[in-house]
Structure 1
Amino acid sequence: MIQQVPVSTRVMNLATFLTQAARRDPEGIALVMGDRRWNWAEFDARTDALAHALQHRFGLQQGDRVMCQSQNCPEMMQAMFAVWRAGGVWVPANFRQTPEEVVYLTQSSGARILLCNAAFPDHAAACRADCPELAAILSFDSAEFGPSVQEVTASAMGQRPQVAAVDRDDPCWFFFTSGTTGRPKASVLTHGQMGFVVTNHLADLMPGLTPQDASLVVAPLSHGAGVHQLTQVARGVKTILMPTERFDVATVWDLVRDWRVSTMFTVPTILKRLVEDPATATADTSSLRYVIYAGAPMYRVDQQNALNTLGKVLVQYFGLGECTGNITVLPAYLHQAEDGPEARIGTCGYARTGIEIQIQDDQGRELPPGQTGEICCIGPAVFAGYYQNPEANAKAFRNGWFRTGDLGHMDEAGFLFITGRESDMFISGGSNIYPREIEEKILTHPAINEVAVLGMPDPVWGEVGWAICVTSAPVEAGELAAFLDGKLSRYKMPKRFVFWEALPKSAYGKITKKMIRAELGARGLIDEEARA
Structure 2
Amino acid sequence: MTDLFHWTDRKTLVRPFLLSSDGDLTYGDLLRLVGRWRGFIRSRQYAKPTRVALAMADPLHTIAATLALWCEGHIVCPLHLHWSGEARAHLLETLGVNVCIAKPPEPRHMNDVAKPLDIGLSQHALAMLLYTSGSCAAPKGCCLTLAALLGNASASLRNMPLGIGDVWLLSLPLFHVGGWGLVLRTLLSGSALALPARNAPIPAGVTHVSCVPTQLARWLEQGVDLSGIEAVLVGGAPIPRILVERAVHRDIPLFTTYGCTEMASQVSTTRPNERDDFESLSTAGHVLEGHQVHIAETREIFLRGPCLALGYWQNGAIIDFRDAQGWYRSGDFGYFDEAGRLCILGRKDNLIISGGENIQPERVEGVILESGLVSRCVVVGRDHPTWGQRPIAFCEWLEGGDEQELATYLSAYLPRYKVPDAFLPWPSVPKSQGLKIDRKEFQRLANHSLNRALESENRKNLTRQSRNQGFSSPTLPSFP
Q: TM-score, normalised by structure 1?
A: 0.65
1:333-355 CA-partner distances (Å, limit 9, x unpaired): 224465xxxx2464212211111
Aligned to 1:229: 183
User: What is the deviation of 1:194?
Assistant: 1.8
Q: In structure 1, what is the Cα distance between the partners aligned to 2:274 and 2:237?
A: 18
Map 1:4-403 to 2 at 5 A: 11=1, 17-18=4-5, 20-21=7-8, 23-55=10-42, 57-71=43-57, 73-116=59-102, 139-140=103-104, 147-148=105-106, 150-153=107-110, 156-157=111-112, 159=114, 163-177=118-132, 182-204=137-159, 206-207=160-161, 209-223=162-176, 224-244=178-198, 251-253=200-202, 255=203, 257=204, 259=205, 261-278=206-223, 280=224, 283=225, 285-311=226-252, 313-336=253-276, 343-344=279-280, 346-361=282-297, 372-388=298-314, 393=319, 396-403=322-329
Which residue type is aligned with residue 325 of structure 1? S
Q: In structure 2, what is the Cα distance between the partners aligned to 1:345 and 1:158?
A: 47
User: What is the deviation of 1:290?
Assistant: 1.7
Q: In structure 1, what is the Cα distance between the partners aligned to 2:383 and 2:8?
A: 53
Aligned to 2:393: none
Task: Say if 2:269 and 2:284, in contact at 8 Å, map to a contact too.
Answer: yes
User: What is the deviation of 1:469?
Assistant: 10
Q: Size of the alignment, in residue pairs?
A: 392
User: What is the deviation of 1:177?
Assistant: 1.7
User: What is the deviation of 1:295?
Assistant: 0.9
Q: In structure 1, what is the Cα distance between the partners aligned to 2:118 and 2:66?
A: 14
Q: In structure 2, what is the Cα distance between the partners aligned to 1:309 and 1:379?
A: 37
Which range moved further: 392-401 or 99-108? Answer: 392-401
Which residue type is aligned with residue 277 of structure 1? Q
Distance change (3 Å), C-alpha of 1:217 and 1:466? farther
Q: In structure 2, what is the Cα distance between the partners aligned to 1:521 and 1:325?
A: 44
Aligned to 2:460: none
Task: Say if 1:30 and 1:38, in contact at 8 Å, map to a contact too.
Answer: yes
Q: Secondary structure at the match of 1:184?
A: coil
Distance change (3 Å), C-alpha of 1:324 and 1:380? same
User: What is the deviation of 1:383?
Assistant: 1.0
User: What is the deviation of 1:376?
Assistant: 0.8
User: What is the deviation of 1:321?
Assistant: 0.5
Q: Which runs of 5+ in 1 are unaligned?
A: 1-10, 117-138, 141-146, 362-371, 427-453, 471-487, 504-519, 525-532
Q: Does 1:523 align with 2:479?
A: yes
Q: In structure 2, what is the Cα distance between the partners aligned to 1:324 and 1:521?
A: 46
Task: Say if 2:16 and 2:26, in contact at 8 Å, map to a contact too.
Answer: yes
Q: In structure 2, what is the Cα distance between the partners aligned to 1:102 and 1:291?
A: 33
Task: Say if 2:244 and 2:281, in contact at 8 Å, map to a contact too.
Answer: no
Task: Say if 1:52 and 1:160, in contact at 8 Å, map to a contact too.
Answer: no
Q: In structure 2, what is the Cα distance between the partners aligned to 1:71 and 1:462?
A: 30
Which residue type is aligned with residue 375 of structure 1? I
Distance change (3 Å), C-alpha of 1:521 and 1:215? farther
Distance change (3 Å), C-alpha of 1:160 and 1:337? closer
User: What is the deviation of 1:264?
Assistant: 1.5
Q: TM-score, normalised by structure 2?
A: 0.72
Map 1:459-498 to 2 at 5 A: 460=375, 463=378, 492=438, 493-494=441-442, 496=446, 497-498=448-449
Distance change (3 Å), C-alpha of 1:89 and 1:228? same
Task: Say if 1:49 and 1:159, in contact at 8 Å, map to a contact too.
Answer: no
User: What is the deviation of 1:460?
Assistant: 4.8
Q: State the structure with more CA Rg.
A: 2
Q: In structure 1, what is the Cα distance between the partners aligned to 2:150 and 2:321?
A: 26
Which residue type is aligned with residue 165 of structure 1? G
Which residue type is aligned with residue 238 of structure 2? P
1:241-283 CA-partner distances (Å, limit 9, x unpaired): 1245xxx5xx134x2x3x2x211122111122122213x2xx3
Distance change (3 Å), C-alpha of 1:33 and 1:75? farther
Which range moved further: 187-196 or 31-40? Answer: 31-40
1:183-212 CA-partner distances (Å, limit 9, x unpaired): 3221111011222112101112x22x2222
Q: Which runs of 5+ in 2 are unaligned?
A: 353-360, 386-430, 455-475
Q: In structure 2, what is the Cα distance between the partners aligned to 1:78 and 1:348?
A: 32
Distance change (3 Å), C-alpha of 1:108 and 1:211? same
Q: Secondary structure at the match of 1:20?
A: helix
Q: In structure 1, what is the Cα distance between the partners aligned to 2:260 and 2:70?
A: 22
User: What is the deviation of 1:331?
Assistant: 2.2
Which residue type is aligned with residue 479 of structure 2? R
Q: In structure 2, what is the Cα distance between the partners aligned to 1:27 and 1:335?
A: 33
User: What is the deviation of 1:389?
Assistant: 6.4
User: What is the deviation of 1:32?
Assistant: 2.2
Distance change (3 Å), C-alpha of 1:460 and 1:228? farther
